[in-house]
């Protein structure tokens, strides 16, 4: 909240009010204008400049307090609306069970990072991870316990990557991780760390400790040339590597052949 006098040395309150309104960034600023100018024309000028309320001088202190309280209520209402808006934005992009990015959001991030990788000439890593034998957990212990296992596995996956990597729930018990500026060697180290982080101790649940393991497929992409390989191509390669991890015994990491982010397949998406 700003309480401005119409007459300010070097800059009048009207111009200052206009400058406040010209800056859209940040929370709303409630402006109360104090003025000795009491004509309707002057009031209109002040309100047109962006003032929310005005008070003519000389003013009663109690009236000023009342106007300030009214402005405070408006700002509190705006704060509540912004909180609801932020919550809705979060819910629209995040999985309600795990708090990870949901499928639509993580796919959008994959496409964005694919293009960014080519633009800046840095490698990109993609990991597909699947919780082994998850159907048996649901069948044996029930879906609430299965949900608890998924939440803990999601937490462990997040703990095994950098804080600026993107982790999403791709579907069911499958996770998609996008790692910007990550070399092939670093990607392999991260994937193995992730596997160990998930499997090294059982998940504690109301039904007792449940051992869990993770199968992982990874692909390392490299920037080359001007064309952009679609994110789906990287996703398909990581998914094929994940399939190999499943068929080769589970609880392991398999790596797809290196894929260039620009290739003959690559008309820009």
Q: Are residues 251 and 144 in the same domain?
A: yes
Q: How many CB atoms lie under 10 A from the CB of residue 155?
A: 16
Last residue of some domain: 63, 93, 123?
A: 93
pLDDT of the residue at 245: 97
Catalytic residue list: 173
Q: How many CB atoms lie under 10 A from the CB of residue 48?
A: 11
pLDDT of the residue at 174: 97
65 part of a folded domain: yes
Q: Are residues 71 and 107 in the same domain?
A: no
267 part of a folded domain: no
Q: Give the pLDDT mean for 72-92.
A: 87
Q: Are residues 124 and 172 in the same domain?
A: yes
Q: Are residues 41 and 139 in the same domain?
A: no
Q: Give the pLDDT mean for 123-150.
A: 96
Q: Are residues 113 and 238 in the same domain?
A: yes
pLDDT of the residue at 38: 65
Q: How many domains does the chain have?
A: 2
Q: Are residues 113 and 224 in the same domain?
A: yes
- CATH label of the domain that carries residue 20: 3.40.50.2300
Phi, psi of 176 (to 5 degrees): -120, 130
pLDDT of the residue at 225: 42
266 part of a folded domain: no
Choose among 209, 178, 213: nearest CA to 197. 213
45 part of a folded domain: yes
98 part of a folded domain: no
Report the percent of the chain where pLDDT is more than 70. Answer: 91
Q: Are residues 146 and 55 in the same domain?
A: no
> Which range of residues forms the domain containing residue 136?
103-260
How confident is residue 233, by pLDDT bands cut at 50, 70 and 90? confident
Last residue of some domain: 93, 122, 155?
A: 93
Whether residue 224 is predicted with pLDDT greater than 80 in this model: the reply is no
- CATH label of the domain that carries residue 138: 3.30.70.270
pLDDT of the residue at 228: 46
Q: Give the pLDDT mean for 220-247.
A: 79
Choose among 119, 91, 147: nearest CA to 224. 119
From 20-24, 70-74, 108-112, the region with the lowest mean pLDDT: 20-24
Phi, psi of 40 (to 5 degrees): -60, -35
Q: Are residues 46 and 158 in the same domain?
A: no
Q: Give the pLDDT mean for 108-118.
A: 91
Q: Are residues 48 and 157 in the same domain?
A: no
* Residue 123: partners with Cβ closer than 8 Å, 6 or more residues away: 117, 181, 182, 183, 184, 220, 221, 222, 223
pLDDT of the residue at 268: 41
148 part of a folded domain: yes
Largest CA distance in the chain: 85
**155-169 residue pLDDT tens:** 999 999 999 999 999
């Amino acid at each position: 909240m700003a309480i401005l006098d119409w007459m300010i040395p070097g800059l009048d309150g009207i111009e200052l009010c206009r400058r406040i309104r010209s800056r859209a960034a940040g929370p709303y600023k409630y402006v109360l204008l104090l003025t000795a100018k009491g004509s309707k024309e002057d009031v209109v000028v002040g309100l047109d400049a962006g003032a929310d309320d005005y008070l003519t001088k000389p003013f009663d202190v109690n009236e000023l307090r009342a106007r300030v309280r009214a402005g405070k209520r408006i700002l509190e209402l705006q704060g509540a609306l912004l909180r609801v808006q932020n919550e809705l934005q979060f819910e629209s992009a995040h999985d309600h069970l795990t708090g990870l990015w949901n499928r639509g959001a993580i796919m959008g991030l994959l496409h964005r990072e694919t293009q960014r990788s080519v633009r800046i000439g840095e490698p990109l890593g993609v990991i597909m991870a699947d919780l082994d034998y998850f159907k048996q957990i649901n069948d044996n212990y029930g879906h609430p316990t299965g949900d608890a296992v998924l939440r803990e596995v999601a937490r462990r996956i997040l703990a095994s990557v950098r804080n600026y990597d993107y982790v999403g729930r791709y579907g069911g018990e499958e996770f998609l991780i996008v790692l910007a500026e990550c070399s092939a060697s670093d990607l392999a180290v991260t994937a193995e760390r992730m596997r160990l982080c998930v499997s090294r101790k059982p998940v504690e649940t109301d039904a007792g400790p449940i051992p869990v393991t993770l199968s992982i497929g990874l692909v390392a992409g490299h920037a080359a040339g001007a064309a952009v390989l679609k994110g789906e191509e990287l996703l398909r390669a990581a998914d094929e590597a994940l399939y190999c991890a499943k068929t080769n015994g589970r609880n392991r990491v398999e790596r797809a052949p290196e894929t260039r982010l620009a290739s003959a397949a690559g008309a820009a998406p």
